[in-house]
Amino acid sequence: MRLTGRAPRPSWVGLLTASFMGLQAVGAVELNLDDDLSIKKASKQVATNMMSYYTGMNPGDNPGNLPDPYYWWEAGAMFGALVDYWFFTGDTQWNNITIQGMLWQAGDNGAFMPSNQSKTEGNDDQAFWGFAAMSAAERNFPNPPADKPQWLEMAQAVFNTQASRWDPGTCGGGLRWQIFTWNNGYSYKNTISTGGFFNIASRLYKYTGNQTYADWAEKAWDWTKQVGFMTDTYHFWDGASDLTGCKDMNKIEWTYNTGVYLLGAASMYNATEDPKWKYRVQQVLNASDVFFATNPVNVMYERACETVNTCMVDQRSFKGYLARWMAATTQMAPFTYDQIMPKLRATAEAAAKSCTGGSEGTTCGLKWTEQKWDNTKDFGQQMASLDVIQANLITHVAPPVTSHDGGTSKGNPDAGGKPKEPMPKALSFSITTADKAGAGILTAMTMVMIGGSCGWLIWD
Ligand SMILES: *[C@@H]1O[C@H](CO)[C@@H](O)[C@H](O)[C@H]1NC(C)=O
Ligand SMILES: *[C@@H]1O[C@H](CO)[C@@H](O)[C@H](O)[C@H]1NC(C)=O
Ligand SMILES: *[C@@H]1O[C@H](CO)[C@@H](O)[C@H](O)[C@H]1NC(C)=O
Ligand SMILES: *[C@@H]1O[C@H](CO)[C@@H](O)[C@H](O)[C@H]1NC(C)=O
Ligand SMILES: *[C@@H]1O[C@H](CO)[C@@H](O)[C@H](O)[C@H]1NC(C)=O
């Protein structure tokens, strides 16, 4: 995500929509949390509005991308929300779109490293697609055609490519924010990248039982603590530059960092039943209290930016991830249920009250604590509202499957490597398109050499 390095996208979205302020909403999202049908209906309304941003399924459009100003990773997050949506509600409306978009972006080796993204793709961005794939495996989402990469395989491909980037050369380990050396932010080690890897490793361990994943999860957790990105009181800072040994930390606290470690720890607890992990889950959960208001009580807010009106485009979606991972935590660590549900309920109610904007009266605001529409619209805040509303269905759905307990997704522990025999195709590519591509070829060839595992896509 875009805290440092890359030029931030302006948060003009909110300003722009101020001009719609006078518009009278025709509807509103009604929500009765004690009635499943009501939660499903509200989820559908909010999801429909969210999907109005997405055009990737249209002929000639690009599956798995959202239009400007939304970065590629956020589409991965969207497919994660849609997997949950299908599982929680039973509504298959967006399943095909999800399968199409994820397969398109996963590429032949399933690792979600399309060459189109090589100018910006960070480990955290890749992880958000990995989360969607992992959820699809855990929920037995309809499997892709047999000749395509499978959900579990994709999550493993993300894991494998990231494990190979683990970098003990500076700060004692961790993942860099950026994947490619030429991108701004390569020298930044950040919590969401390491946390994303931790989250996927722990869930892969729960799903497959393969000890390698558990070892990596332990390692990622320990490093996060050692380097100080996780404090002694289980708060999470954003990250630090490795040029100064990760000493000078960016002490900004985001909801999604807490969420990504919470579910990872809960998955480790579920798989190991080790009291150490139970303790960690409890501590991270208690520390998450800072993201919940006292008035209105238990309503989530992004304290780093909402109160000062500085939430950038990416950040407008973050609360949704804490909500979805808290919900998933109640299944992996049921002892947290009584502590988490009042928060998901109060937050969902407040979020729904914020969804009265736009011509349909289903556009959700950013600041749920206001309990009314705050005159802004944005894809991410719409997705976050969906996340927290549908999270309240968690009580009524089965826990994740595993490979020895109902899971049907096929894995491949070695996923993420290069495809076989890429050279002939590469040659034909450069011959047929050399004229038009011009300098692009040079960049492409450089990438093949430097990028290694990402080079494969150039041959598509
Ligand atoms: C989804 O795709 C399958 C296979 O292509 C097709 O049979 C089905 O009708 C599609 N469903 C929807 C809702 O579009
Ligand atoms: C990459 O960009 C090209 C050109 O816009 C597009 O045709 C292609 O579908 C994109 N690939 C992916 C994986 O998005
Ligand atoms: C965590 O929070 C719960 C609920 O607020 C509280 O009862 C408990 O004592 C806290 N535990 C720790 C270890 O702080
Ligand atoms: C692990 O998850 C399952 C499914 O939700 C649950 O029944 C079980 O109690 C969990 N294990 C622990 C140790 O909480
Ligand atoms: C466990 O995972 C590791 C790492 O991906 C892999 O090398 C190994 O083959 C896996 N073991 C089994 C039994 O699948």
pLDDT in tens, 385-411: 999 999 999 999 999 999 999 999 999
Q: Are 374 and 20 in contact (CB under 8 A)?
A: no
> Ligand 1 centroid vs 96 CA: distance in angstroms?
6
Indicate whether 280 pLDDT > 80: yes
The residue whose C-alpha atom lies closest to atom 5 belonging to ligand 4 is 331
| Banded pLDDT at 26 (limits 50, 70, 90) | low
> Ligand 4 centroid vs 410 CA: distance in angstroms?
23
Weakest mean pLDDT among 1-10, 175-184, 376-385, 394-403: 1-10
Q: Are 68 and 54 in contact (CB under 8 A)?
A: no
Nearest atom (ligand 5) to Cα of 413: 5
- When comparing pLDDT for 425 and 86, which is higher? 86
Nearest atom (ligand 5) to Cα of 160: 5
Q: Tell me, rounded to whole angstroms, the distance of Cα 187 from its chain centroid.
A: 22
Q: Which of 261, 241, 239 is nearest to 250 (CA)?
A: 239
**Token pair listed for 115:** 């060459």
pLDDT tens digits for range 37-48: 999 999 999 999
d(CA 434, CA 425): 13
Indicate whether 58 pLDDT > 70: yes
Q: Are 346 and 296 in contact (CB under 8 A)?
A: yes
How high is the pLDDT of residue 460?
Answer: 25
pLDDT tens digits for range 184-223: 999 999 999 999 999 999 999 999 999 999 999 999 999 9
Domain boundaries, the chain: 33-407+418-457
Weakest mean pLDDT among 217-231, 234-248, 434-448: 434-448
Q: Which residues pair with 402 in a beta bridge?
A: 405, 406
> Ligand 2 centroid vs 145 CA: distance in angstroms?
21
Residue 422 near ligand 5, beta carbon < 6 Å: no
> Ligand 4 centroid vs 265 CA: distance in angstroms?
13
pTM: 0.89
How high is the pLDDT of residue 417?
Answer: 86
Indicate whether 23 pLDDT > 60: no
Indicate whether 304 pLDDT > 60: yes
Q: Are 219 and 173 in contact (CB under 8 A)?
A: yes
The structure tokens 């399924």 sit at 57
d(CA 121, CA 119): 6
Pocket of ligand 2 (CB under 6 A): 62, 64-65, 104-105, 114, 116
The ligand minimizing its distance to the Cα of 91 is 1
Pocket of ligand 4 (CB under 6 A): 270, 273, 331-334, 399
Q: Tell me, rounded to whole angstroms, the distance of Cα 96 from its chain centroid.
A: 20
> Ligand 1 centroid vs 404 CA: distance in angstroms?
29
Indicate whether 5 pLDDT > 50: no
Q: Is 233 helix (H, G, I), strand (E, B) or coil?
A: coil
CATH 1.50.10.20 at 33-407+418-457, yes or no: yes
Give the containing element (helix H, strand E) for 386. helix 379-390
**Token pair listed for 365:** 């605001």
